Amino acid sequence: MNINENFLKLKAGYLFPEIGRRVSGWTEANPDKTSKLIRCGIGDVTEPLPQAVRDAMHAAVDEQGERDTFRGYGPEQGYDFLRDAIVENQFAGLNISADEVFISDGSKCDTGNILDIFGHGNKIAITDPVYPVYVDTNVMAGNTGEADENGAYEGLIYLPCTAENGFVPAIPSEKADLIYLCYPNNPTGTTATREQLEAWVAYAKANDAIILYDAAYEAFVQDSTIPRSIFEIEGAHDCAIEFRSFSKNGGFTGVRCAYTVIPKTLTATTSTGEPVSLHSLWNRRHATKFNGASYPVQRGAAAVFSPEGKAQVSALIEHYMGNAALLRQACQDAGLTVFGGENAPYVWVQCPEGIDSWGMFDKMLEEAQVVITPGAGFGAAGEGYFRISSFNTRENVEEVCRRIAAL
């Protein structure tokens, strides 16, 4: 009996558990300061579920309590009422049909599981810094070699995102087969313009590549000129898959619901060059390995698109973006260079001279009792930066701002 030895290539700890380990060690050593700790690291929401969502979920649970309205296994791809609502409210005019939407229990799972339908030997391109799931799932799948001393894996194409390029990577000179893009970006909180996304779609089509587009934070875009979906770009239906989530806009981090959009026109080839529908492959994978998100959860997700739900979600987004504005200003007032936080709930901050990102993590924890995320945890190009999440109460954010000013 053998194990999947690709797991042994992974670095010692996934970023956020490693942060949790360090914070736990600090709290054990400083029990008198634990009550002052404010967590601005992991991007977990803090505000209650919208009332419209709660009402819909309560009603759905009541339905489950009556024989006439009870529902057992549902369609693995998702109930029509939710798929229809998503298309009507999120993709109107973008030539997406309801049967191209696959409901799941989280886009983190989907961005990893999508690798099931792609073979080995593909060239994988990822941005740097990057959401660690993209890298680690490719390592697990055997798509990389070993990591070097900087944590970069052999076989991956790293696309540096820097202040100089606005944290949107340049088109690579070499051919990539799968390209991970996330905008609004996690961790930098920055966005890609229509022209930049058009260039990526043109590259993908010219190279028979597939863009894996993570739009989990699209609801936070404030600038109407910034695309919220890759499918706003002409030609993207033939070269892109989009991932979205209810976690951040609807507060579903503890409820779990997301969706993946795969156009039926999207194809890839077999080893002998025959085109195959990726929609049909994902449908088979989804139906084989997933039993569907629960009925009450899907009713709650659909309520996000009700008139009441839209107003309540808008208020949540306004709250978190208000937090981001406060954090941006506090860091700027402290003399720090700041990016992001204007169309996304993350503020990306350059470390003071002479301090690396884990050093800044320790400084904020020890001196301010604030948990941040070190940029190095997102890749080599993240070194020298740290991320502050705006997912918090207003009271906590205002206190964090005071502590930053006092450093």
Q: What are the pLDDT digits (tens) for 217-252?
A: 999 999 999 999 999 999 999 999 999 999 999 999
Which residues partner with 87 through β-bridges?
Answer: none
Regarding beta strands 38-39 and 210-214, do their DSSP bridges make them parallel or antiparallel, or are they unpaired?
Answer: unpaired
pLDDT of residue 150: 83
pLDDT of residue 363: 96
How many Å apart are CA 227 and CA 90, to the nearest integer? 12
Domain locations along the chain = 5-48+308-406, 54-306
Q: Which residue has the tokens 């942060």?
A: 19
Mean pLDDT, the chain, whole residue set: 96
Q: Is the pLDDT of residue 14 over 70?
A: no
> Which CATH superfamily includes the segment(s) 5-48+308-406?
Aspartate Aminotransferase, domain 1 (3.90.1150.10)
Q: Which residue has the tokens 């798509």?
A: 143
Distances (CA, A) of 6 to 9, 145, 179: 5, 9, 21
Average pLDDT rounded to a whole number, residues 334-340: 98
**What is the length of the chain?**
407
What CATH code would you report for 54-306? 3.40.640.10
Q: What are the pLDDT digits (tens) for 270-285?
A: 999 999 999 999 999 9
The verdict on pTM exceeding 0.95 is yes
Q: What are the pLDDT digits (tens) for 93-144?
A: 999 999 999 999 999 999 999 999 999 999 999 999 999 999 999 999 999 9
* 3-state secondary structure labels for all residues of the chain: CCCCHHHHHCCCCCHHHHHHHHHHHHHHHCCCCHHHCEECCCCCCCCCCCHHHHHHHHHHHHHHCCCCCCCCCCCCCCCHHHHHHHHHHHCCCCCCCHHHEEEECCHHHHHHHHHHHCCCCCCEEEEECCCHHHHHHHHHCCCCCCECCCCCECCEEEEECCCCCCCCCCCCCCCCCEEEEECCCCCCCCCCCHHHHHHHHHHHHHCCCEEEEECCCHHHCCCCCCCCCHHHCCCHHHCEEEEEECCCCCCCCCCCCEEEECCCCCEEECCCCCEEEHHHHHHHHHHHHCCCCCHHHHHHHHHCCCHHHHHHHHHHHHHHHHHHHHHHHHHHHCCCCEEECCCCCEEEEECCCCCCHHHHHHHHHHHHCEECEEHHHHCHHHCCEEEEECCCCHHHHHHHHHHHHHC
pLDDT of residue 17: 79
Cα torsion angle, 293, 297, 299, 304, sign: negative
The total of other beta-carbon atoms located within 10 Å of residue 34's CB is 13
Q: What are the pLDDT digits (tens) for 134-189?
A: 999 999 999 999 999 888 999 999 999 999 999 999 999 999 999 999 999 999 99
Q: Which residue has the tokens 């060690």?
A: 25
Q: Which among 399, 407, 400, 387 has a CA at the least distance from the CA of 42?
A: 387
Which residues partner with 240 through β-bridges?
Answer: 211
Buried b (16+ CB within 10 A) or exposed e, 83-104: bbbbbeebbeebebebebbbbb
pLDDT of residue 18: 81
pLDDT of residue 97: 98
Q: What are the pLDDT digits (tens) for 274-325?
A: 999 999 999 999 999 999 999 999 999 999 999 999 999 999 999 999 999 9
Q: Is the pLDDT of residue 268 over 90?
A: yes
% of residues, the chain, pLDDT over 70: 99
Q: Which tokens belong to 49?
A: 């579920």
Q: Are 265 and 237 in contact (CB under 8 A)?
A: yes
pLDDT of residue 110: 98
Q: Which amino acid appears at position 216 of this protein?
A: A
Q: Which among 355, 405, 396, 95 has a CA at the least distance from the CA of 242?
A: 95
Q: Are 333 and 112 in contact (CB under 8 A)?
A: no
Q: Which tokens belong to 201?
A: 């779609």
Average pLDDT rounded to a whole number, residues 67-91: 98
In this prediction, residue 20 has a pLDDT band, given cuts at 50, 70 and 90, of: confident
Q: Which tokens belong to 299?
A: 């009713």
pLDDT of residue 12: 64
Average pLDDT rounded to a whole number, residues 354-364: 96
pLDDT of residue 13: 63
Regarding beta strands 38-39 and 370-371, do their DSSP bridges make them parallel or antiparallel, or are they unpaired?
Answer: parallel
pLDDT of residue 259: 98
The alpha carbon of 260 is separated from its chain's Cα centroid by a whole number of angstroms, namely 12
